Amino acid sequence: GAGVSQSPSNKVTEKGKDVELRCDPISGHTALYWYRQSLGQGLEFLIYFQGNSAPDKSGLPSDRFSAERTGGSVSTLTIQRTQQEDSAVYLCASSVTPGEKLFFGSGTQLSVL
Amino acid sequence: GESVGLHLPTLSVQEGDNSIINCAYSNSASDYFIWYKQESGKGPQFIIDIRSNMDKRQGQRVTVLLNKTVKHLSLQIAATQPGDSAVYFCAEITDYKLSFGAGTTVTVRA
């Protein structure tokens, strides 16, 4: 595809359930980022992958959050035992050069009931 | 912590007029900035970027100005169109981490 693809676009789950969010970056982009955007708020950094280097997980808010990137391409963000405060839009971005010209997907709107 | 903010949360503009959206940043070590546009239900869309060694950069109908002395950015949109209605964010990049605040909502009046 031409852009960053995220799925699902919307996810409604019950408190305590696990969810998986998927990101397919732009082909050839070695850098991949996950961010979280709460209603009316700015962006919160979650995790960053660059090539085969160890990811920067410094933004993950708790050990319920984890992410992996397989084969240097598709990434999955997993939230275990979801809480209501996890409700937000989860955005994925990718870039050719780390920290430059990040292109975002449309996000996954997560609602935890 | 340091953050990027915008001067006004909302801006109403007459169609055809020029728009100016302002942004203040606080991290003097930041050397790269991006303006994004976000429409409802969509992810942020890249508009234009600028490095700290530049004062001005122009794109198609857009101009970004950077004043490092007062740590201020602005985005100028020429001949604003209805399709320009969106939330605009200025993003500050330090290392590879991008941050931006709540944005400015631009509404274009017909």
Answer whether residue B30 shows pLDDT above 90. Answer: no
Percent of chain A with pLDDT over 90: 84
User: 10 Å Cβ neighbour count for A64?
Assistant: 14
pLDDT tens for each residue of A6-17: 999 999 999 999
Q: Helix, strand, or coil here: A86?
A: helix
User: In this predicted structure, what is the pLDDT of residue B41?
Assistant: 86
Distance CA A56, CA A101 (A): 19
Q: Do B3 and A42 touch (CB under 8 A)?
A: yes
pLDDT of B100 reads 81
pLDDT of residue B2: 34
- pLDDT recorded at residue B7: 60
Size of interface A-B (CB pairs under 8 A): 62
Does residue B3 carry a pLDDT above 50?
no
pLDDT band at A1 (very low <50, low <70, confident <90, very high): low
pLDDT on residue A52: 85
Residue of B nearest to A58 (CA): B97
Of B34, B42, B100, the CB nearest to A106: B42
Cα separation, A70 vs A73, whole angstroms:
6
Instruction: Tell if the CB–CB gap between B46 and A102 is shorter than 8 Å.
Output: yes
- Where exactly are the structural domains of chain B? 4-109
- For B6, half-sphere exposure in the C-beta direction (CA atoms, 13 angstrom radius) is 26
Contact at 8 Å (CB) between A101 and A95? yes
CATH architecture of B4-109: Sandwich (2.60)
- Residues in contact with A106: Cβ distance below 8 Å, sequence separation at least 6, in sequence order: A6, A9, B41, B42, B43
Mutate to test the interface with B, among A56, A104, A108, A111 (most CBs of B within 10 A): A104
Residue type, A113: L
Q: Which domains does chain A have, with CATH numbers?
A: 5-97 (2.60.40.10)
Q: Mean per-residue pLDDT for A50-68?
A: 94
Chain A 67-96, CB below 8 Å of chain B: which residues?
Answer: 91, 93
Looking at A26-69, list the stretches that DSSP marks H as alpha helix, in order from N- to C-terminal side.
none
pLDDT band with cut points at 50, 70 and 90 for residue B75: very high
Q: Find out whether A9 and A109 touch, Cβ atoms under 8 Å.
A: yes
